[in-house]
Amino acid sequence: MTWLVSPPEQSLAMILADNGFDVWISNIRGTRFSTRHMTLDPSTPEFWDWTWDDLVFHDLPAIIEFVFKQTGQKIHYVGHSMGTLMALASFSEGKLIDKIRSATLLSPIAYLSHMTTTLGVLVARAFVGEITTIFGLAEFNPKGEPVSNFLKALCTDPEVDCYDLLASLTGRNCCLNNSTVELFLKNEPQSTATKNLVHLAQTVRDGILSRYDYGNSDFNEEHYGESKPPIYDLSKIPRDLPIYLSYGGEDALSDVKDVETLLDNLKLHDEDKLHVQYIKDYAHADFIMGETAKDIVYNQIISFFRNQQ
């Protein structure tokens, strides 16, 4: 949905299609468009027993494989927010590389320890305490009653402005159109696994990018054969992979300091293969819904893609 709430002349997906690209848009597991399963039902906790590790090792490779088989061509990947985390972790594990022509990462999320969004920090603190035990909820549905009550409780914090929920989560976006935001909030945010949010909260707390931490060395040993979860080493991303990375100075989720940590991991990347764009006034949602994004970001992405043909 996020790629399609803006008018066609402002939507990256539509602009790419108008420029002759074959565009495929995927949904992340658990959203309302992605709840079917061979054997499990979304009403059962088993359906929600996953984190972004599973998106890295299973879902993203399956998506890329599917498109590759249909088109027979290497793919220009575009990710925003969690879409960047999935891609970076996959690339660091040596996955997908043979099917990817280039990668565009908007508001990249890898490290989250400097996240400044007040609501996000409060949620992360709550989730580090394994909120599943408080909730008994496997599905985190932002529009469901238990989660609404949880968010209302967080909104009593004087530092959180829940009248502007988008800004509370993403930072002050400079360039959003009100009707687009209304459409966005009607459709978003979508459900995810509570376990997935626990994993993201671990990333905030620990300052490292690693597999899901099961909370004690025995469980970790059982899953990974070692007492601590394995780390994703982003310096292992192939140095000749063309990457376009764009981030904003007002982004409260993809904070500038955290993006600098990510860029430090990419410091040995081939210089002519890494293109970095910093936009001082942009926050998290401007990259997908900003009225000025076409001129500032999307036209550059198209040029970048054409240079990789």
Catalytic residue positions, numbered: 81, 251, 284
Lookup: tokens for 301: 């992405």
**Whether 50 contacts 193, CB under 8 Å:** yes
Residue with tokens 């940590």: 261
User: Could you give the CA distance from residue 89 to residue 230 in angstroms, rounded to a whole number?
Assistant: 12
User: Could you give the CA distance from residue 284 to residue 293 in angstroms, rounded to a whole number?
Assistant: 12
Lookup: tokens for 117: 């969004």
Q: What angle do helix axes 82-92 and 60-71 make, rounded to 10 degrees?
A: 80
User: Could you give the CA distance from residue 295 to residue 133 in angstroms, rounded to a whole number?
Assistant: 47
Four-CA torsion 71, 76, 81, 82, nearest 10 degrees? 40
User: Could you give the CA distance from residue 287 to residue 298 in angstroms, rounded to a whole number?
Assistant: 9
Query: At a CB cut-off of 8 Å and minimum separation 6, what does 46 contact?
Result: 40
Quote the DSSP letter at residue 143: T
Four-CA torsion 237, 199, 67, 236, nearest 10 degrees? 10
**Whether 183 contacts 261, CB under 8 Å:** no
Quote the DSSP letter at residue 210: B
User: Could you give the CA distance from residue 75 to residue 204 in angstroms, rounded to a whole number?
Assistant: 31
User: Could you give the CA distance from residue 210 to residue 53 in angstroms, rounded to a whole number?
Assistant: 9
User: Could you give the CA distance from residue 126 to residue 52 in angstroms, rounded to a whole number?
Assistant: 19
